[in-house]
Amino acid sequence: MRKFLSDNITFEVIIKYLDGTASDLEIKSVDIWLLDNQNRTFFNKIREIFSNPDDLKALSSDAVATDWKLLMKRIGKGESFNFKFDATAGIWYQKTWLRIAAVLIVIIMMGGLFLYQRSHFLMSDKIVYNEIIIPFGQKSQLILSDGTKIWINAGTKLRFPNRFNSKIREIWLNGEAFFEVAKDPTKPFYVRTNDISIRALGTSFNVKAYDDEGVVEATLVTGKISIEKNNARGEKQVIIEPNHKAIFIRNESTLENKKSLVAEDMQRQVSEPLEPHKIFISLPVKIEPVVSWTEDRLVFEDEPFENIAKQLERRFGVQIIIENEALKKFRYTGVLKKISFEQTIKAIQLTTRFTYTIQDNKITITNENKKDAN
């Protein structure tokens, strides 16, 4: 039987969504839940009843009281799930609760089309997979059915089920996301990427796994995670402690040029020579630069301008071309808060001399001193 509602998309959240009192995170979660056609059909029936005050007038006080008792009996609540009712005035103390009662009562009167059980509507046990794609220039948040919270960065694709099975919880990530995993010692949580899998129970961590980058990173904030390569064939899992990251080099080409920024930056973070197709544990790292994007900030710690440009491309949905090789390697340290793209560029411009031109969404950056070019 299909479970329409879950631990985070509860009946109460749906009602708050309808009456305009839901939080931003609840609104985003419902919006994603509504991507499923069957969920939307179910939601539309609730909305139709909830938003039509004329239909509520047909419910007399006696009918409401009688049908409410029937409803409580049907869902095994007895009369403990009690909304206060003013018999003398013939109205509910809260009009919203009258609407809630009307929704539930009408569902019963529909001849069992939906069954309300344990505060969830059920119709099929089939697990349905949803996919959310966050375009450049945007971010999003999501609460999974188990209560796990996810912050999703720009340019990311996330695939997840409407509910988890009885043994494991797993989602699939292409891009970057920060996870606060709900605790469940009996059901481990897996983040699957194209190259590695991250296993957690109840913890918080950031995963960066964009297909167009040669490195996959998993940075642990709290708790503990284990990481293994996909199709590892007996290789041991790598255990990560807080304030460390796992680094996976995807291919040989990432390390071909030992002087490349990627190879140089990765090597600075580990104590042994890098190799492709291997998971490394970093030296202790600062967490703030890794997760600041979840708070609409960008924190850079001795970060090459070329890396910064890639982050700005995703954040603002633009294309950045740096024409000078020396400028690509310029390292910047600073905090950029909720500011526009031009304000961001001007802030970096305070520390090094360069000029830029903007044409539509394409930004070209050049060194002011032409003699320094290349």
Question: Would you say residue 286 lies in a domain?
Answer: no
Q: What is the mean pLDDT of the chain?
A: 76
Q: What are phi and psi of 105, to 5 degrees?
A: -65, -45
pLDDT at position 7 is: 52
- Give exposure, 287-297, as e/b (b: 16+ Cβ within 10 Å): bebbbbbbeee
> Could you give the percent of the chain with pLDDT greater than 90?
31
pLDDT at position 189 is: 95
Chain-centroid distance of CA 125 in Å reads 25
Question: Would you say residue 1 lies in a domain?
Answer: no
Under 8 Å between Cβ of 103 and 131: no
Domain boundary residue, one of 122, 150, 175: 122
Under 8 Å between Cβ of 299 and 335: yes
- Please tell me whether residues 141 and 277 are part of one structural domain: yes
Query: What contacts 111, CB < 8 A, 6 or more positions away?
Result: none
CA–CA dist 322, 348 (Å, integer): 14
CATH number at residue 367: 3.55.50.30
pLDDT at position 125 is: 57
- Please tell me whether residues 100 and 149 are part of one structural domain: no
Question: Would you say residue 266 lies in a domain?
Answer: yes
Which candidate, 214, 180, 223, places its Cα nearest to that of 194?
214
With cut-offs at 50, 70 and 90, classify the pLDDT of residue 174. very high
In tens, the pLDDT along 57-100 reads 444 445 445 554 554 454 444 444 444 434 333 333 345 555 55
- Which residue did the predictor score with more confidence, 225 or 90? 225
With cut-offs at 50, 70 and 90, classify the pLDDT of residue 51. low
pLDDT at position 79 is: 42
pLDDT at position 52 is: 62
Domain boundary residue, one of 87, 122, 157: 122
Give the CA-trace dihedral at 5, 142, 31, 138, to 10 degrees: -170
Question: Would you say residue 291 lies in a domain?
Answer: no
Point out the least confidently predicted range of 41-50, 192-201, 303-312: 41-50
Question: Would you say residue 2 lies in a domain?
Answer: no
Per the structure, the count of domains in the chain is: 3
Question: Would you say residue 249 lies in a domain?
Answer: yes
- Please tell me whether residues 201 and 108 are part of one structural domain: no
- Please tell me whether residues 193 and 89 are part of one structural domain: no
> Could you give the percent of the chain with pLDDT greater than 70?
71
3-12, 247-256, 259-268, 270-279: range with highest mean pLDDT: 270-279
In the numeric block, which tokens belong to residue 263?
């190879």
pLDDT at position 114 is: 38
**DSSP structure string for 275-310:** -TT-EEEPSP--SHHHHGGGGT-EEEEEEEHHHHHH
Which candidate, 182, 179, 197, places its Cα nearest to that of 141?
179
Question: Would you say residue 177 lies in a domain?
Answer: yes
- Please tell me whether residues 258 and 164 are part of one structural domain: yes
- Please tell me whether residues 135 and 270 are part of one structural domain: yes
Provide the 3-class DSSP secondary structure of residue 70.
helix
E strand or H helix at 246 = strand 245-249
CATH number at residue 164: 2.60.120.1440
- Please tell me whether residues 118 and 210 are part of one structural domain: no
In tens, the pLDDT along 319-357 reads 999 998 889 888 999 998 878 888 888 888 888 889 999
- Please tell me whether residues 219 and 156 are part of one structural domain: yes
With cut-offs at 50, 70 and 90, classify the pLDDT of residue 222. very high
With cut-offs at 50, 70 and 90, classify the pLDDT of residue 260. low
Statement: residue 199 has pLDDT above 90: yes
Mean pLDDT for the stretch of residues 129-153: 89
Range of the domain at 308: 296-372
Mean pLDDT for the stretch of residues 186-201: 93
- Please tell me whether residues 117 and 162 are part of one structural domain: no
- Please tell me whether residues 245 and 140 are part of one structural domain: yes
Domain boundary residue, one of 93, 122, 151: 122
pTM to 2 decimal places: 0.67
CA–CA dist 232, 197 (Å, integer): 10
- Please tell me whether residues 64 and 148 are part of one structural domain: no
With cut-offs at 50, 70 and 90, classify the pLDDT of residue 105. low
Under 8 Å between Cβ of 272 and 259: no
The total of other beta-carbon atoms located within 10 Å of residue 173's CB is 24
- Which residue did the predictor score with more confidence, 374 or 24? 24
- Please tell me whether residues 205 and 301 are part of one structural domain: no
The H-assigned helical ranges of 11-94 are: 11-19, 24-33, 37-50, 53-56, 61-74
- Which residue did the predictor score with more confidence, 46 or 305? 305
